[in-house]
Amino acid sequence: MKTAGVCCLLLLLLVSTALGQEKKLTLVSYPPRPPKLPLWLARDAGLFKKYGLEITIKEPGSSDELLAALARRDSDMYAATAPYLVAAIGDGADLVFVANTGYSVLKLLSRPEIARAEDLKGKKVGTGDLGSSQDRITHQALLRLGLDPERDVTLVPIGGRSVDRLKALLAGKIDATTSNEDNLFELERKGEMGKVRVLADNESLKLFIGAGVDFAVARGLVVRERASVKNFLRALSEATALARRDRAAADRIFTQYIGVRDPALLDFMYRTYVQGAIPQRPFPKAEPVALGLEEFGAKPGVKGKKAADLIDASLVQELETEGFFDRLYK
């Protein structure tokens, strides 16, 4: 009996020690977007704990609250659209981009009779307010199609909402515009995709800027706790793999965190994000960081820097080299 008691005591001590070894990290996340599914699922499925982490996720209610959190620099990690993070780095935050779990899907739509990019010459293209992120995205999309945004087309600023630009396209007020996944779903649901033509998308343009989910961490954390940051990326990646093989798990996340309950929209979200925009390997992307530099490059902390200076892809690369992703996707 005494031996059994000693064994139980030792077991309790071992469990307590193991629990005490969980590395505690805080992460600020804003806004809630579909490509954040791996983050939410990793927490809800216990994958952070599996890799010895206790992640506290703080979710500000507005961009102003996010900027305030970045200014305080009281968090270890951040999940946000890259330009916000680049602005913080410009103001002195010592952050580095280590991962990306996707982007909001974007397509360049035109009137049906416009079959090729060259056919846009002399036409009207709807865009966001002058100098806005959406305006920069429109410029980049046209440039990558071989068009000069200032000479080949007439840019028509139409507010900040893509739905307004889509309405203008359908009404014949413009000839083309970019649009996000929500509007595309509504067109698909109404059987109106025939009223537009998809000229290009993120993949064909290699354009992954705007409304993405970029992860940045304190540079000092990568130095002091490299194994913990790497385990964080393991958990994110395993959550992505889990969502791909367990549709119900993905649906629960979209319902709980995005508020999607319509079965047709859940199916659309699964196809668009889990099987599409969310990458199996969450390498950080240079394009959204470059967009942030274009917008905030005059700030002291980033002046003269390139996107590569703010990115550390070595952690994901190590996971790749170690065969981690191959094992996930056997």
What residues does each domain of the chain span?
Answer: 24-104+211-328, 106-205
| Entry pTM | 0.81
pLDDT at 12: 42
pLDDT at 131: 72
- Comparing 24-104+211-328 with 106-205, is the CATH topology the same? yes
Q: Name the CATH superfamily, with its identifier, for domain 24-104+211-328.
A: Periplasmic binding protein-like II (3.40.190.10)
The CATH architecture annotation of domain 106-205 reads 3-Layer(aba) Sandwich (3.40)
304-312, Cβ contacts within 8 angstroms, sequence gap of 24 or more: 310/86, 310/89, 310/95, 310/96, 310/97, 311/96, 311/97, 311/98, 311/284, 311/286, 312/96, 312/97, 312/98, 312/222, 312/284
pLDDT at 160: 61
Q: What is the mean pLDDT of each run of 10 residues along the chain (330 residues)?
A: 46 42 93 94 98 97 92 94 94 97 87 93 91 81 92 88 86 91 80 88 75 91 96 98 97 95 91 92 92 90 96 98 95
pLDDT at 291: 83
